[in-house]
Amino acid sequence: MSKLRAIILAGGEGLRIGQYKPLVTFLGKPLIFWVYSTLRKLFPVVYLSFKTEVQKKSLEKLLKFYKVNSKSIEFIPDIRPELRGPISGILSAMHFFPSEDSLLVLAVDQPLIQTDLLLFLQEISFYYPKCILVCQKEEHIEPFPGIYPCSLKKYLEEFIKVSEKKSLYRMFQFFLQKKSLLFLKDWNKVDLNGKSFININTLEQLKELEKKCFGLE
Amino acid sequence: MFWLGIEQSENIKVLVVEDDDEVRTAMVDFLIKEGYEVYSAKNGIEGFRKVLEVEPDVVLIDYLMPGMDGISLCKAIKNNSETVDIGVILITGVDDLEIRINGLEAGADDFLSKPFLIPELKARIRSLSKIKKYRDFLKSYQETLESEVERKTSDLLKAHLELKKAYEEIKELSLEIIYRLAKAAEYKDEYTGFHIQRISAYCVKMAESLGLNKEQIDLLKYGSPLHDIGKLGIPEKILIKPGILDEFEREIIKKHTLIGFKILEGSKIKYLQVAEKIALFHHERWDGTGYPYGLRGKKIPLFARITAIADVFDALTTDRPYRRALSISQALEIIKHSSGTHFDPELVNIFFKIKDQIIEIRNFFKDEDPKSDRLFLKFFL
Ligand SMILES: [Fe+2]
């Protein structure tokens, strides 16, 4: 029986923000904390994909500090660390689980992610167990949160092999051709303003968002 | 026993039409003595008037008469539906073959040539009056029969109408019970509003477009609302759990197909027989990845394949605790994408063909509208 696995991609280098992204503080807590606590409302176990041992160690330290139940976290090592970007994290997770499972993949830098959007994605994934599901905002594709079925592992490997650029944009084009990708345009029925998709790439953005959030309070 | 009466001469009316007074009087006297009820006329015109007046069984007509002759009178009698059964004896001269032929053409039943013997006359009258009485009897018998048939028919018609009314009442009653039962199951679920009503209406539209006959359409119409009846057997805390279900809970939910089957199993009512199959198979998928049995393609009963599309479309276009209803276009895109995997591609094509009608139904049964319930019962019954 297939399972939906919640994965946080925590293998980024955080070049633009200047430090390991999961640990960057947002509203007094590390970025990863926000995403993790949202996921824990829905899933008993949250998976963290990492690229280097250093990353794993710092994450473990952090979890210890916040007294996170170790049973609720599992680590997924990157099997293709030489590949840049999030694709190797997705591929590693696809290898980590049985092929009938699906991945609910989240970025570590989207602290305002809404549980309702995740429920929506899992609802639709029920109809498409073999299809990538991502949201589309006008012409812009939001790769995370998204559903990535492990059964597409072979296709993803094929893409990595044949495509020169391993960007998400190219990957989506590839899966569109394979008729294994569906864009969900009605995400606003769940998350009216698209808060879930706000991501933090720079310290300026982080400060800006913090201000906005305090403003809301 | 029945015919005894008509053998007796006193019941027999004889009309003698003869211009010769002597002959007429002699014949009348003789016939009275023989016990006949006798009438007479001196010429054709008077004769015909008396025919209409006394309705004789037998008329004796002299061929040769001034004015209206015997042949003309004979024709007049035989051309009238009221008098056609009266026996006509034409009295002619000896061996007047031509006149006899004319007489036959005019409808005369028998002939007597002057002079004739009394026994001959008696025999002719007897046989003709007998025939006339038979005809009269048959006529009245037929009339009685007809009116009896008419009475019986009207009785039958009345009984039929009463039966039909009773049948309609019972049908309406059982259909309403089906509807209420479906609603009962719905109350346990997170669905509110008019899910089952729309499902039924969507299914009907698809079945119509598929060209199914009226009976089949009705079966689907009344069977489809019970697709989730098995949810009555699923614990509420799982059914309306707000988060993501774990493996165990998902397995429990899947049981609603088997429970539904158990609830409806073995009924003699054809609507419930159809409902039983829909309840059991509406979560099967075209590519064989559904439940409970993983049936593939056309092995999944048609009605369940139709209901599956209606069910998913309605779920997508209905509010959920965590989201508002998806737009019709998004829902249609999802359905289209599932063609050939989740759904029967042929039925998906049909669904798209009747898209406008589907949208109409969606707008007609609005969850927020309290009138929808009454409107639906009207559609349903
Ligand atoms: Fe169901």
Residue A210 near residue A155, CB atoms below 8 Å: no
Of B244, B327, B334, which is closest to A127 when you measure between CB atoms?
B334
Which helix (DSSP H) or strand (DSSP E) does residue B248 occupy?
helix B247-264
Predicted-complex ipTM score: 0.85
pLDDT tens digits, one per residue of B145-186:
888 888 888 888 898 899 888 888 887 877 888 878 887 777
Residues in chain B: 381
Residue A128 near residue B336, CB atoms below 8 Å: no
Where do we find the tokens 């994909």?
A: A49
Residue A141 near residue A174, CB atoms below 8 Å: no
Q: What is the mean pLDDT of residues A189-217?
A: 81
Domain boundaries of chain B, sorted by first residue: 2-126, 171-380
Q: Look at residue B16 in the predicted model and tell me its pLDDT.
A: 94
Which helix (DSSP H) or strand (DSSP E) does residue A156 occupy?
helix A153-162
Testing the interface with B: which of A40, A126, A127, A188 to mutate, by most B Cβ within 10 A? A127
Q: Which residues of chain B have pLDDT under 50?
A: 1-6
Q: Look at residue B42 in the predicted model and tell me its pLDDT.
A: 92
Of B244, B324, B326, which is closest to A122 when you measure between CB atoms?
B244
Chain A residue numbers with beta carbons less than 8 Å from the beta carbon of B342 are 127-128
Q: What is the DSSP string of A69-102?
A: -GGGEEEEE-S-TTS-STHHHHHHHHHHS-TT-E
Does the CB of B1 have a partner CB in chain A at under 8 Å? no
Q: Look at residue A171 in the predicted model and tell me its pLDDT.
A: 95
Residue B220 near residue B207, CB atoms below 8 Å: yes
Looking at chain B, the number of H-run helices and the number of E-run strands are 16, 5
Q: Look at residue A151 in the predicted model and tell me its pLDDT.
A: 95
How many CB atoms are located within 10 Å of the residue A161 CB? 7
Residue A148 near residue A160, CB atoms below 8 Å: no
Residue in chain A lying closest to B343 (CA): A127
- Rounded CA-CA distance B123/B112 in Å is 11
**Equal fold, B2-126 vs B171-380:** no
Cα-Cα-Cα-Cα torsion B256, B262, B263, B267, nearest 10 degrees, comes to 140
Q: Look at residue B124 in the predicted model and tell me its pLDDT.
A: 83
pLDDT tens digits, one per residue of A38-75:
999 899 999 999 999 999 999 999 988 988 888 999 99
Q: What is the mean pLDDT of residues A120-139?
A: 90
Fold that domain B2-126 belongs to in CATH: Rossmann fold (3.40.50)
With helix as H, strand as E and coil as C, how does B117-141 read? CHHHHHHHHHHHHHHHHHHHHHHHH
Residue in chain B lying closest to A124 (CA): B334
Q: Which of B80, B82, B42 is nearest to B62 (CA)?
A: B42
Instruction: Give the Å distances, CA to CA, from B286 to B264, B280, B289, B297, B311.
Output: 24, 15, 8, 5, 15
How many CB atoms are located within 10 Å of the residue A23 CB? 18
CA of residue B256 to ligand 1 center, whole Å: 7
Per-residue pLDDT at A217 exceeds 60: no
Fold that domain A4-213 belongs to in CATH: Spore Coat Polysaccharide Biosynthesis Protein SpsA; Chain A (3.90.550)
- E-strand ranges in chain A read 4-9, 25-26, 29-30, 46-50, 73-77, 102-107, 132-137, 140-149, 181-184
Domain boundaries of chain A, sorted by first residue: 4-213
pTM listed for this prediction: 0.69
Fold that domain B171-380 belongs to in CATH: Hypothetical protein af1432 (1.10.3210)
Q: Which of A203, A172, A7 is nearest to A94 (CA)?
A: A7
- Rounded CA-CA distance A152/A73 in Å is 24
pLDDT tens digits, one per residue of A74-88:
999 999 988 888 999
CA of residue B197 to ligand 1 center, whole Å: 15
The verdict on a CB contact (< 8 Å) between B244 and A119 is: yes
The verdict on a CB contact (< 8 Å) between B322 and A130 is: no
Give the HSE-up count for residue B236: Cα atoms under 13 Å, Cβ half-sphere: 4
Helix axis angle, B214-223 relative to B270-281, nearest 10°? 60
